[in-house]
Amino acid sequence: MIQVRIDPAIKNVIDNFRLPENLGFGNIMAPIMASCSYENGKWGELEIIPYGPISMYPNAKVLHYAQEIFEGMKAYRIDGKGPFIFRPAENFLRFNRSAERMAMPHIPKDIFLQATFDLIAYCSKVVPSHSGESLYLRPFMFATEEALGIKPSEKFRFMVIASPSGSYFTSEGLSVLIERFAARAFPGGTGFAKAGGNYAASLLAAIKAKNMGYVQTLWLDGRERKYIEEMSGMNFFAVIDGALHTPLLNDSILDGITRRSIMTLAQDKGINVIERKMDIEELLKDIKAERCTEAFACGTAAIIAPINFLAEENGERFPLKNHEGKISIELREDLLALQEGRAKDPYHWVEYIEPKSI
Ligand code: COI
């Protein structure tokens, strides 16, 4: 157990916090946050403080060179059970893989987990209680050194903030534009890291997709624009001839924890899971031939979001006939039941967090 400084001011803000009826995703912020700074090669004290603005010099390196990484996790408290958190050690490991790629220091496991767990423990009443809702946790780290030279920062801040949230998407099914021109990531780049810059790189295409009436972008590989990669913030799956297919990971695809969990759940249900390079033209043929019956996006925020259709910029559409199909619905329900503590957990993926009060 590490030493944590609990600011006594958190009592007031927690006591005064009221959970609104309509949550949305990531709009309402929990009343407290965790913070820990890194300087002179060492991490300092972990603090739990009221949520609020932070101060930084305008020449802090993150503002110029985007040295920043983050994670997404969820805590659940459904039917009076919990709070539970899902596979937090996996997020910790990925955070440090992202840190390495972005020339940032590793965060010790006890700081990462204690910060996250304390936020949940003190905010247990802030965790929403309807199925499909959760407390979305956002650990992140950024470069704070005040200097404009292009060199890795020597000062960083690690924080965890949280947002009581509902579903990321409405239940309609996603309309997805295949991005044939821009690239989100490329071999040797930072695509596998959960770095803010990767998301910034996806935004222009997101505007284009939105203006054309679609809600998401399907990214292809950066070299040939031939193989399906991911959907920025979500991984991609397709059900073809009853088997579950997903792009084989490479250094431009995020290694999704939801992705891996779904693969395990599917395999254990007897569904054949195939990780491979997925050629977009082949997939479109499989959709036309109705061999591909379902496709879905998955991620911490989205859980499993069925895809209604894929589309080209010329307006051609490839509808998934059975887009809310059996496999995506079953996997979503299995995963959510586990995460919400409603189902047996043979994998030991779910951890209970003892609530704390001040
Ligand atoms: C998550 O699922 O945590 C994500 O990374 C998506 C987020 C960028 C909204």
Chain segment 248-268, per-residue pLDDT in tens = 999 999 999 999 999 999 999
Distance of CA 300 to the CA centre of its chain: 4
Nearest atom, ligand 1, residue 168 CA: 9
Query: Ligand 1 centroid vs 258 CA: distance in angstroms?
Result: 11
Angle ∠(270,275,280) on CA atoms, nearest 5: 120
Tell me how far CA of residue 93 lies from CA of 30, 71, 255, 315, 346, in angstroms.
25, 10, 11, 41, 21
Per-residue pLDDT, 170:
72
Tell me the CB-side half-sphere exposure of residue 160, using CA atoms within 13 A. 27
Q: Is the pLDDT at 324 greater than 90, yes or no?
A: no
Going by pLDDT thresholds of 50, 70 and 90, the confidence category of residue 80 is confident
Per-residue pLDDT, 169:
78
Nearest atom, ligand 1, residue 302 CA: 2
Nearest atom, ligand 1, residue 254 CA: 5
**What is the C-alpha separation between 161 and 336, in angstroms, rounded?**
23
Per-residue pLDDT, 167:
82
With a Cβ cut-off of 6 Å, ligand 1 is lined by 72, 233, 299-301
Question: Which of the two residues, 276 and 80, has the higher pLDDT score?
Answer: 276
Ligand 1: residue whose CA is nearest its atom 4: 233
> Which candidate, 87, 84, 106, 89, places its Cα nearest to that of 97?
106
- Rounded to a whole number, what is the largest CA-CA distance in the chain? 63
**What is the C-alpha separation between 264 and 271, in angstroms, rounded?**
10
Ligand 1: residue whose CA is nearest its atom 5: 233
Chain segment 287-318, per-residue pLDDT in tens = 999 999 999 999 999 899 999 999 999 999 99
Burial group, residue 120, by CB count within 10 angstroms (0-12, 13-18, 19+): buried
Nearest atom, ligand 1, residue 71 CA: 3
For the chain, list the strands marked E by DSSP.
4-6, 32-39, 42-43, 46-50, 68-70, 73-76, 84-86, 134-143, 156-165, 174-179, 216-219, 235-240, 243-247, 273-276, 292-299, 303-311, 317-319, 350-352
Q: Best of 174, 234, 253, 259 to mutate for ligand 1, by most ligand atoms within 8 A of CB?
A: 234
Tell me how far CA of residue 94 lies from CA of 69, 139, 143, in angstroms.
10, 12, 18
- Retrieve residue 160's tokens: 């965890």
The dihedral sign for the CA sequence 170, 176, 182, 183: positive
Per-residue pLDDT, 131:
86
Ligand 1: residue whose CA is nearest its atom 7: 233
Query: Ligand 1 centroid vs 341 CA: distance in angstroms?
Result: 22
Nearest atom, ligand 1, residue 26 CA: 9
Nearest atom, ligand 1, residue 299 CA: 2
Per-residue pLDDT, 327:
95
Going by pLDDT thresholds of 50, 70 and 90, the confidence category of residue 353 is very high
Q: Is the pLDDT at 6 greater than 80, yes or no?
A: yes
Per-residue pLDDT, 89:
98
Query: Ligand 1 centroid vs 120 CA: distance in angstroms?
Result: 18
Query: Ligand 1 centroid vs 184 CA: distance in angstroms?
Result: 15
Query: Ligand 1 centroid vs 49 CA: distance in angstroms?
Result: 24
Q: Best of 98, 168, 231 to mutate for ligand 1, by most ligand atoms within 8 A of CB?
A: 168
Chain segment 195-249, per-residue pLDDT in tens = 999 999 999 999 999 999 999 999 999 999 999 999 988 999 999 999 999 999 9
Nearest atom, ligand 1, residue 70 CA: 5
Ligand 1: residue whose CA is nearest its atom 3: 72
Per-residue pLDDT, 358:
87
pLDDT cut 70: percent of the chain above it: 100
Q: Best of 300, 303, 335 to mutate for ligand 1, by most ligand atoms within 8 A of CB?
A: 300
Chain segment 131-184, per-residue pLDDT in tens = 889 999 999 999 999 999 999 999 999 999 999 999 887 767 899 999 999 999
Q: Which residues of 183-209 are buried (b: 16+ CB within 10 A; e: fewer)?
A: bbbeeebbbbbbbbbbeebbeebbebb
Helix (H/G/I), strand (E/B), else coil: 347: coil
Question: Which of the two residues, 91 and 132, has the higher pLDDT score?
Answer: 91
The mean pLDDT of the chain is 96
Query: Ligand 1 centroid vs 139 CA: distance in angstroms?
Result: 11
Nearest atom, ligand 1, residue 73 CA: 3
Read off the DSSP letter of residue 227: B
pTM score, whole prediction:
0.96
Domains of the chain plus CATH, in order, are 4-165 (3.30.470.10), 174-324 (3.20.10.10)
**What is the C-alpha separation between 95 and 140, in angstroms, rounded?**
8
Average pLDDT value for residue range 331-335:
96
Q: Is the pLDDT at 64 greater than 90, yes or no?
A: yes
